[in-house]
Amino acid sequence: MNKDDLIIQIAQDQKITKTDAQYMLEASLKGITNLMKNGQNLTLVGFGSFIVWNREVREARNPNTQETVTVPEKNYVSFRAGEKLREAVNFKKALSAAKKKKIVKNKLKNISATIKIHKVSSAAKVSLKSLEKKKSKKS
């Protein structure tokens, strides 16, 4: 997907014109860019954070000539996805994991029920045997 595709999608989702969608997107991107130019971070709760990092001046070595060069200071941008975005992106995986968890839980319930039935039937057998012994002693 590119910028034009995103504009079309916004226009369709919000039932607005492509021109209005383009204006909204351009204004948003311009606002984010201006914030970050000034060294400010932007956090959109649930979606993610745009973070400006500063890399100090440092010395590096050219691997071809082994010459030491000074790399100037520079800012760079990173994006950290928020929890809701990560969940949305991994929805199929989460759903699959939830289904597997539910299947395992159901199997454990079945095993537990089987064990209880076995214990009850074993206890019943023991009770039955003790009753039979009492009857045989009385006779």
pLDDT at 89: 86
Q: By residue range, what is the domain housing residue 1?
A: 1-38
Instruction: Quote the Cα angle for 11-22-18, to 5°.
Output: 40
Same domain, 104 and 137: yes
Contact between residue 11 and residue 21 where contact means Cβ atoms under 8 Å apart: yes
Same domain, 17 and 56: no
Going from the C-alpha of 33 to that of each of 5, 43, 51, 67, the distances in angstroms are: 21, 13, 11, 36
To the nearest 10 degrees (0 to 180), the angle between helices 18-37 and 3-14 is 120
**Least confident range of 77-81, 83-87, 114-118:** 114-118
Number of domains the chain is built from: 3
Query: pTM to 2 decimals?
Result: 0.56
pLDDT at 135: 64
Q: Mapping DSSP to helix (H, G, I), strand (E, B) and coil, where does residue 64 land?
A: coil
Strand partners, 55: 74
Retrieve residue 56's tokens. Answer: 């100090």
Same domain, 47 and 26: no
Same domain, 102 and 126: yes
Per-residue pLDDT reduced to its tens digit, 43-59: 999 899 999 999 999 99
- 77, pLDDT greater than 90: yes
Helix-strand-coil split of the chain, %, nearest 5: 65, 20, 20
Same domain, 72 and 95: no
Same domain, 94 and 130: yes
Same domain, 94 and 139: yes
Per-residue pLDDT reduced to its tens digit, 87-126: 888 876 665 666 666 666 666 676 666 666 555 556 556 5
Per-residue pLDDT reduced to its tens digit, 16-42: 999 999 999 999 999 999 999 999 999
pLDDT at 65: 92
